[in-house]
Amino acid sequence: MDEETIKRFEQILKAREFYVVGKKVARVDALDAVLGRPMYTTDLLTSKALYVRAVRSPHPHALIRSIDSSATRSVRGVVDVITHREIPGVNDAGSLTSDRPLLAVDRVRHYGEAVALVVGEDEVSVDEGIAAFRVEYEPLPAVFDPVEALKPDAPRIQEQGNLINHVKIRKGNVEEGFSASDVVIRNEYRTPFMDGVPMEIEVAYAYPEPDGTITCIASMQNPFDVYNKVTKVLGLPPEKVRVIQAATGGGFGPKSDESPIDVAAYAALAAYRNRRPALATFTREEAMAVQTKRHSFRIVNETGATSDGRLLAWRSTLYLTNGPYYSKGHLVIQRATFHCTGPYEVPNVWADGYAVLTNNTLAGSTRGFGAPEAHFAAEVQMDVLAEKLGMDPLELRMKNMLRPGSLTATSQRIDDDGLVRCVEAAARLSRWTERRREHEQFNRTNGRYRRGIGIALLYHGNTLGPEGEDYAIVHLSVDERGKVKLQTGLTEYGTGALTSLAILVAEALGIDVKDVELLRPDTRAVRNPGPTVASRTTVIGGRAALDAAAKLRAILDPIASELLGCRQDELVYRDGKVMVAGDPNRSISFRELVRRAIGMGLDLKVEGFYKAPDTKWDKETGQGAPYNQYTFGALVSEVEVDLLTGAVRVLRMTAVYDVGKAINPLGLKALIEGGSIMGLGHALTEEFLLSDGVPVTLGFQGYSIPTSVESPLEIVQEVVESEGKIGALGAKAMGEIPVVLPMASIANAVAHAIGYHIKETPLKPSRILEALEELGIAYRP
Amino acid sequence: MPRFSVSRPSSLREAVERLSSGEGVYPIAGGTALIPLIKKGLLEVRELVDLSSVRELGAIRREDGRVFVGGMVTHSELVDAAPWGMRNVLRDFLRNHTSPHVMNLATVGGSVASSTSSEDLLPVLLAADAEVVLAGRDGDHSVSLEDYLARRGSFRAEIVEGVRVRYVWDGWRFSFSKLSVSVRRMPAFCVVVGARVSDQTVEDCRVAVAFADGLRPGRLRDVEDAVRGKRVDAVRAADVEDAVRRSIRPAGDVHFPSEYRRKVTSRVTALMLSEVLGA
Amino acid sequence: MMVELKVNGRPYRVEVAENELLVDVLRYRLGFMGVKQGCGEGDCGLCLVLMNGRPVHSCLIPAWRADGSDIVTVEGIGSETSLHPVQRAFIDQGAVQCGFCIPAAVLIGKWLLDRGLAGDRETVRWAYRGLLCRCGSYLRFEEAVAQASRGG
């Protein structure tokens, strides 16, 4: 089915009143969840499995001098020990590149790197086996700071050197821009490593089939990434490995990287070698140590503006601290650098983004993919600038924000007014001016507490853009009962995106969402649709779903028009029926139509496909159009700071996002609230700390995520629909978006409250109190 | 979890005998502290002595002027019973508990035995003049909670049979304050303050904090002595703050540095004292 | 050690080892997969069950401690054709995102309703404090419990 026909089909869909899209629809999997039905990997074990865990390095950088597994092998209950020598295929477990071994060969490069696997009858035997395993390490000099790691004499973590990407933006002439500026400010911003912390720990269950196939059921975001590497590690032909995604309790990025590949490979190896089912998972502390983290960032922003607030020049230097293996670091720096100015028009931009290998913890995809960090630095900078200029922070933003006709830092032209509408709505809903005055009044009269209001704006390039080929595949089939089965390699793990796909299909075929059945992602049953990342499922997957629906329509329409005696363009699919426009009595039920088609020997099985246009930009100057469209947003936060304890309470958040088209409003509501709360964690409590490369904040006692009592009492939200160019029905990426702005928005609110801009997260009590002492406003009873 | 054996004594005597029977024998109360330690391999256990079947340990009873609360009484049961006159403190203790559900397992005896700053109950008991009743090989004996905290480590061979607390607190005003983050068991601070004022004079007072010395809760007697007997309007918050500062050496960690704890504990205490003095 | 307990109203007898925890017995011996695990240390709340009417973390309880007790898991609440008001409200209010904390969240909601505590938002918020939801559905839980308590 050609692009033109699909577009026309979508136009028809868009033109009418929606029947299911945009209405309140329950998530397709909500019933199973509230009933506690078994659907996650460890709920599905059909027989007693071997248990597999890894022996891990306590050193951040060391040579492996020798390995002795003899004591391990004699532990009661230990069944197998696997080192790199026992890997039948290729020792490769990088999620995108091939630089990372599954099991270390002669060297370990981070704390927790896996050296060997112990397979046993139960957890206790495996734990004892791991404790008995002997590795002789020779510690090597390690490097943890990205600037240090770039020096010529720094320890070389990989052969080719520690710099894995240098992204540039060269727009206009920054020196001229700074010269022409009335005000120039320069600040450094820091965000630490953080952890996505999906509540369900990575887990994989693998078992051998009679024909030699290894089937693996697991918790993950990208079944084909897992499949490709497991197949490679086992050295098996493609048809002898099968990967199925079970219901997955949270992804947030880490489950699209190395850790799901690891557990799947561990379980598959154990199952393959021992011809028995095997289960591999982590303890919570282990998971936090080894899953890929949000990179730590150091960003220097230099900004020049006229005295009336027009941005003239912007220079950013961004250092992304990567772990020792690529994972996705070379791509995260790209997104961060491209968004380094925030959503503003700046005529002269110079940016250098460096992604650097270190012996810190593994880092990779984490919700936002560099955008939250870049926006923290850009948006606090804007507030500092506003203060310097004596301008209201909202006013400064409105003066410079991207509007139709604006050019971004990469000189991409913005055509839609999404940001303008978001800002207008956020200002209105948050009662910005009024509340600002109220809080300032409160601050004049209160002793112990100070309140503040802060705003931050975002733009977010959709969807993969420079990060890869942006396509998707969705399979549809219809059975005799008129039930539509939707199967895709795109995965659900909390975003609600697959419900959106079901909604789109239901809308296109005029049936109830309940009649769309989602089958599990199974590498044997679907073609590789690319990864479920970058918030692209609704946008790109949605187009593929609509393509599939259109293809079904192409089969059914001729039959219906014949039966109803009308033209094909007079057919209306609605309420489970197919009818003639303007003559509802001439109709046939969808189910009956399907029965007829099947009776005629037609195969109601289609594959929908969509690929977004490749994006182009110049690698030397960063100029061009790296993304096909942008999501926009504005977040206003109101806080109360306790001048005695330094504790920050978020009173209210007001979130407005341009979603392009709201396919599933109820899903969006939960997503926006939930992401705001996760972002609140980033702003106030989350930091993954290491001491000489050894994590010191593991487990929930170490790494603190928000609970119910940390949530604001109110998250007011509004959704703006400024149609995007490529997404299904104009939808824009949303899955990651709500976590991008809270750090900046809350930091700006705190600055308003205490009169000082903290430029490092988290804004934890001890850090705030230090600032209060310096300002002389710490509360003394 | 590693393997071990279990004994289920039905009397205190039996329980004490089991505990003295050798190395690696530990009592299990609520399990909220113990189970994680065993799982992580931080405690090598040969035998667990289950205290849940020892009747005496679940009692709450009046004993002329005092209340005895058995070691196996859970935090929830304690708050529900509110057996002595510090109801608002117990209510605040409940409201500020890191996990309302762990309260249904965590016990009075477990909190006392762990003797550490994560147990909000300890400043509460310290302010209530608690005595710890210990059951050992040579019978029962009691010791002030202050002394118990000062000399004991956790998980020794004596069982915390319970605590005895003064029942009547007429004329006293108490206040409880705590700051914690997420599900961290170690708070930034936890302070309980009380005072009885008569004729504008501080007749008596109590100051108890979670971080008195390292990770040990304690009663700040020096601060109490400095305030006791003074006229209310002569108690200056700055002096109280100073006195607390000098009395405590809190442990620091990656979230709350020692100096932060010291500063905030002293300021909060000074503020709370002003409030209960009605100043 | 022989343990006799009731789960969702039905009696069970099961031989357990000394080091077996209630969460594992409920899941792997008795098949109640609705009880989840997330940390093993009583921090995350995913393993929450009602024991003799009180919410507890089953990962902290040796199975033999549950002898003689009455346990309720999410499987004992409502059914597809007859959802408990809390379950209905969770669906209506969009509280389900990744779903992993939902069994525990439903149990807390039921407990609040049974105790007559669902009408006070602060109490509801406090009750959910012991459950970590990374998807951030806390406000959805509050709305759902409010709906259920209104009889909606």
Examine the fold and report which residue of A260, A290, A320 is the final residue of a domain before the chain moves on: A290
DSSP E strands in A410-499: the ranges are: 449-462, 471-478, 484-488
Provide the greatest CA pair distance for chain B. 62
From chain B residues 58-77, the ones with a CB under 8 A of any chain C CB are: 76
> Who's near B153: CB < 8 A, 6+ residues apart?
B115
Same domain, B137 and B105: yes
Residues of B in contact with C48 (CB under 8 A): 101
* Three-class SS of A28-46: CCHHHHHCCCCCEHHHCCC
Put simply, the answer to whether C136 touches A708 (Cβ < 8 Å) is no
Which of A685, A766, A781 comes nearest B182 by C-beta? A685
Which of B182, B186, B267 comes nearest A644 by C-beta? B267
Residues of A in contact with C128 (CB under 8 A): 707-708
Asked if A252 has any chain C CB less than 8 Å from its own CB, the reply is: yes
The CA distance from A528 to A474, in Å, is 10
What is the per-residue pLDDT for A166?
98
Put simply, the answer to whether B36 touches C64 (Cβ < 8 Å) is no
Flag residues of chain A having pLDDT under 70: 1-7, 12, 15
Examine the fold and report which residue of B149, B166, B183 is the final residue of a domain before the chain moves on: B166
Q: Identify the contact set of chain C against chain B, taking CB-CB distances under 8 A.
A: 1, 17-19, 21, 40-45, 48, 51, 54-57, 59-62, 64-65, 126-127, 129-130, 132
Asked if C45 has any chain A CB less than 8 Å from its own CB, the reply is: no
- Nearest Cα neighbor of A739 from A252, A401, A330, A221 is A252
The CA distance from A483 to A315, in Å, is 56
The CA distance from A177 to A314, in Å, is 8
Burial class of A308 by CB neighbour count within 10 A (0 to 12, 13 to 18, 19+): exposed
The CA distance from A91 to A117, in Å, is 13
> Who's near A419: CB < 8 A, 6+ residues apart?
A343, A401, A402, A403, A457, A459, A632, A633, A634, A658
**Complete edge-to-edge strand list for the sheet that includes strand A163-171:** A163-171, A348-356, A311-321, A296-305, A183-191
Q: Look up residue B262 and give its two tokens.
A: 């010291």
What is the per-residue pLDDT for A11?
72
**B96–chain C nearest CA distance, Å:** 9
Residues of C in contact with B76 (CB under 8 A): 54
**Pairing mode, strands A107-108 and B159-166:** unpaired
Same domain, A235 and A106: yes
Same domain, C68 and C11: yes
Please give the C-alpha separations between residue C102 and each of A31, A34, C80, C139, in angstroms, as whole numbers. 11, 6, 16, 13
Same domain, B125 and B227: no
What is the per-residue pLDDT for A23?
85
Same domain, C128 and C97: yes
CATH of the domain at A602: 3.30.365.10
CA angle A288, A290, A291 (to 5 degrees): 70
The CA distance from B123 to A318, in Å, is 48
Which of A34, A248, A705 comes nearest C98 by C-beta? A248
Neighbours of A77 (CB within 10 A): 16
**A765–chain B nearest CA distance, Å:** 8
Please give the C-alpha separations between residue A232 and each of A226, A240, A265, A400, in angstroms, as whole numbers. 10, 11, 10, 50
Question: Based on the structure, what is the number of domains in chain A?
Answer: 3
- Cis ω for the linkage preceding A529 (within 30 of 0): no
Q: Does residue B223 have a pLDDT over 80?
A: yes
Q: Is A187 helix (H, G, I), strand (E, B) or coil?
A: strand
Same domain, B13 and B110: no
Same domain, A511 and A583: yes
Same domain, A561 and A514: yes
Give the helix/strand (H/E) hosting A616. Answer: strand A616-617
Instruction: Report if residue A191 sits inside a domain.
Output: no
Same domain, C7 and C68: yes
Instruction: Report if residue A623 sits inside a domain.
Output: yes
**C83–chain B nearest CA distance, Å:** 25
Same domain, B42 and B9: yes
Same domain, B136 and B188: no
Same domain, A402 and A451: yes
Residues of A in contact with B188 (CB under 8 A): 645, 647, 765
**Complete edge-to-edge strand list for the sheet that includes strand A107-108:** A107-108, A62-68, A134-139
Buried b (16+ CB within 10 A) or exposed e, C81-100: eebbbbbbbbbbbbbbbbbb
State which residues form the domain around B68: 55-166
Same domain, B141 and B213: no
User: Which residues are bridge partners to B49 per DSSP?
Assistant: B7, B27
User: Which residues are bridge partners to A66 per DSSP?
Assistant: A136
Same domain, A235 and A376: no
Same domain, A274 and A304: no
Residue C152: band (very low, low, confident or very high) from pLDDT cuts 50, 70, 90:
low
CATH of the domain at C108: 1.10.150.120
Chain mean pLDDT for chain B: 94
Q: Which of B53, B96, B101 to mutate to test the interface with C (most CBs of C within 10 A)?
A: B101
Put simply, the answer to whether A30 touches C96 (Cβ < 8 Å) is yes
Same domain, A399 and A337: yes
Q: Look up residue A758 and give its two tokens.
A: 């903290």
The CA distance from C64 to B44, in Å, is 20
Same domain, A678 and A767: yes
Q: What is the pLDDT of residues C8-26, one digit of tens each?
A: 999 999 999 999 999 999 9
Asked if A36 has any chain C CB less than 8 Å from its own CB, the reply is: yes
Only one residue has tokens 């249904």, namely: B104
Please give the C-alpha separations between residue A445 and each of A219, A437, A448, in angstroms, as whole numbers. 53, 13, 10
What is the per-residue pLDDT for B152?
59
Same domain, B161 and B141: yes
Put simply, the answer to whether A250 touches C92 (Cβ < 8 Å) is no
CATH of the domain at B25: 3.30.43
Q: What is the length of chain B?
A: 279
Asked if A702 has any chain C CB less than 8 Å from its own CB, the reply is: no
Backbone torsions φ then ψ of A199, nearest 5 degrees: -70, -35
Same domain, C109 and C67: no
CATH of the domain at C27: 3.10.20.30
State which residues form the domain around C121: 85-149
Instruction: Report if residue A183 sits inside a domain.
Output: no
Q: Look up residue A530 and give its two tokens.
A: 């690319």
Residues of B in contact with A707 (CB under 8 A): 182-183
Burial class of B186 by CB neighbour count within 10 A (0 to 12, 13 to 18, 19+): buried
Same domain, C71 and C90: no
Residue A61 carries which side chain, given as an amino acid letter? H
Instruction: Report if residue C80 sits inside a domain.
Output: no
A179 half-sphere exposure, CB direction, 13 A CA radius: 4
Give the helix/strand (H/E) hosting A123. Answer: helix A123-132
Question: Based on the structure, what is the number of domains in chain B?
Answer: 3
Examine the fold and report which residue of A611, A644, A669 is the final residue of a domain before the chain moves on: A611
- Nearest Cα neighbor of A363 from A300, A452, A296, A429 is A296
Averaged pLDDT for residues B165-184 = 96
Same domain, B240 and B146: no
Please give the C-alpha separations between residue C42 and each of B106, C39, C75, in angstroms, as whole numbers. 11, 7, 21
Same domain, A623 and A728: yes
Examine the fold and report which residue of C29, C46, C75 is the final residue of a domain before the chain moves on: C75
Same domain, C100 and C71: no
Same domain, A769 and A751: yes
Q: Which of C21, C46, C60, C110 to mutate to test the interface with B (most CBs of B within 10 A)?
A: C60
**A15–chain B nearest CA distance, Å:** 48
**A709–chain C nearest CA distance, Å:** 6
What is the per-residue pLDDT for A5?
67
Name the more confident of B137 and B6.
B6
Examine the fold and report which residue of C28, C46, C75 is the final residue of a domain before the chain moves on: C75
Question: Based on the structure, what is the number of domains in chain C?
Answer: 2
Same domain, C29 and C94: no
Put simply, the answer to whether B35 touches C62 (Cβ < 8 Å) is yes
CATH of the domain at B198: 3.30.390.50
Same domain, A119 and A242: yes
Lowest mean pLDDT among A435-439, B97-101, C133-137: B97-101
Same domain, C52 and C113: no
- Nearest Cα neighbor of A320 from A340, A301, A299 is A299
Please give the C-alpha separations between residue C70 and each of C11, C79, C107, in angstroms, as whole numbers. 9, 20, 14
Which of C33, C46, C97 comes nearest A674 by C-beta? C97
What is the per-residue pLDDT for A25?
86
Put simply, the answer to whether C33 touches A706 (Cβ < 8 Å) is no
From chain A residues 657-676, the ones with a CB under 8 A of any chain C CB are: 666-667, 669-671, 673-676
Please give the C-alpha separations between residue A209 and each of A236, A270, A415, A520, B116, in angstroms, as whole numbers. 14, 14, 54, 19, 53
pTM: 0.97
The CA distance from A689 to A363, in Å, is 13
Examine the fold and report which residue of A553, A580, A611 is the final residue of a domain before the chain moves on: A611
Examine the fold and report which residue of B166, B184, B202 is the final residue of a domain before the chain moves on: B166
CATH of the domain at B63: 3.30.465.10
CATH of the domain at A227: 3.90.1170.50
From chain A residues 583-612, the ones with a CB under 8 A of any chain B CB are: none
Q: Which of C3, C37, C52, C54 to mutate to test the interface with B (most CBs of B within 10 A)?
A: C54
Put simply, the answer to whether B241 touches A704 (Cβ < 8 Å) is no
CA angle B128, B189, C59 (to 5 degrees): 90
State which residues form the domain around A427: 296-465+618-775
**B88–chain C nearest CA distance, Å:** 16
Burial class of A155 by CB neighbour count within 10 A (0 to 12, 13 to 18, 19+): middle
**A200–chain B nearest CA distance, Å:** 18
What is the per-residue pLDDT for A46?
82
Q: What is the pLDDT of residues B50-81, one digit of tens each?
A: 999 998 899 999 988 899 999 999 999 999 99
Instruction: Report if residue A324 sits inside a domain.
Output: yes
**C39–chain B nearest CA distance, Å:** 10
Put simply, the answer to whether A700 touches C40 (Cβ < 8 Å) is no
Q: Does residue C139 have a pLDDT over 80?
A: yes
> Who's near A113: CB < 8 A, 6+ residues apart?
A56, A57, A104
Same domain, C9 and C46: yes
Same domain, B216 and B178: yes
* Three-class SS of chain B: CCCCEEECCCCHHHHHHHHCCCCCEEEECCCCCHHHHHHCCCCCCCEEEECCCCHHHHCEEECCCEEEEECCCEHHHHHHHCCCCCHHHHHHHHHCCCCCCHHHCCEHHHHHHHCCCCCCHHHHHHHCCCEEEEEECCEEEEEEHHHHHHHCCCCCCCEEEEEEEECCCCCEEEEEEEECCCCCCCCCEEEEEEEEEECCEEEEEEEEEEEEEECEEEECHHHHHHHCCCEHHHCCHHHHHHHHHHHCEECCCCCCCHHHHHHHHHHHHHHHHHHHCCC
Number of H helices and E strands in chain A, helices first, is 21, 30
- Contact of A268 with A233, CB cutoff 8 Å: yes
A424 half-sphere exposure, CB direction, 13 A CA radius: 8
Same domain, C69 and C6: yes
Q: What is the pLDDT of residues B186-199, one digit of tens each?
A: 999 999 999 999 99
Same domain, A760 and A670: yes
Residue B94 carries which side chain, given as an amino acid letter? L
- Contact of B192 with B175, CB cutoff 8 Å: yes
